[in-house]
Amino acid sequence: MGCRDVHAATVLAFLSGTASVAGLLAAVLLPNWRQMRLYTFNKNERNLTVYTGLWIKCARFDGSRDCVIYDPQWYTAVDQLDLRVLQFALPLSMFTAVSALFLCLIGMCNTAFVSTVPNIKLAKCLVNSAGCHLVAGLLFLLACAICLTPSIWVIFYNNYLNRKYEPVFSFDISVFIAIASAGGLFFTSVLLFLWYCACKSLPSPFWQPLYSHAPSMHSYASQPYSARSRLSAIEIDIPVVSHAS
Residue range 204-210: mean pLDDT, rounded: 45
- The whole-number pLDDT of residue 243 equals 54
Q: Which amino acid is at 55?
A: W
List the domain boundaries for the chain: 6-31+78-114+126-199
95, 160 contact by CB (below 8 A): no
Over pLDDT 70: what percentage of the chain?
A: 70
Sort 100 into a burial class: Cβ within 10 Å, 0-12 / 13-18 / 19+: buried
92, 118 contact by CB (below 8 A): no
- The whole-number pLDDT of residue 140 equals 95
Instruction: Give the whole-angstrom CA distance, residue 245 versus residue 243.
Output: 6
Residue 140: how many other CB atoms lie within 10 Å: 30
Residue 172: pLDDT band with limits 50, 70, 90: confident
- The whole-number pLDDT of residue 18 equals 94
134 pLDDT exceeds 70?
Answer: yes
DSSP secondary structure letters along 71-106: ETTGGGS---HHHHHHHHHHHHHHHHHHHHHHHHHH
Q: Which residues are 196's β-sheet partners?
A: none
Residue range 151-157: mean pLDDT, rounded: 90
Instruction: Give the whole-angstrom CA distance, residue 121 versus residue 114.
Output: 16
Task: Quickly name the fold that domain 6-31+78-114+126-199 has.
Answer: Butyryl-CoA Dehydrogenase, subunit A; domain 3 (1.20.140)
Q: Which residues are 60's β-sheet partners?
A: 49
Span 51-104, pLDDT tens digits: 888 888 888 887 777 777 877 887 787 888 888 899 999 999 999 999 999 988
List alpha helices for the chain, DSSP H: 8-29, 81-113, 129-164, 173-199, 215-219, 222-237
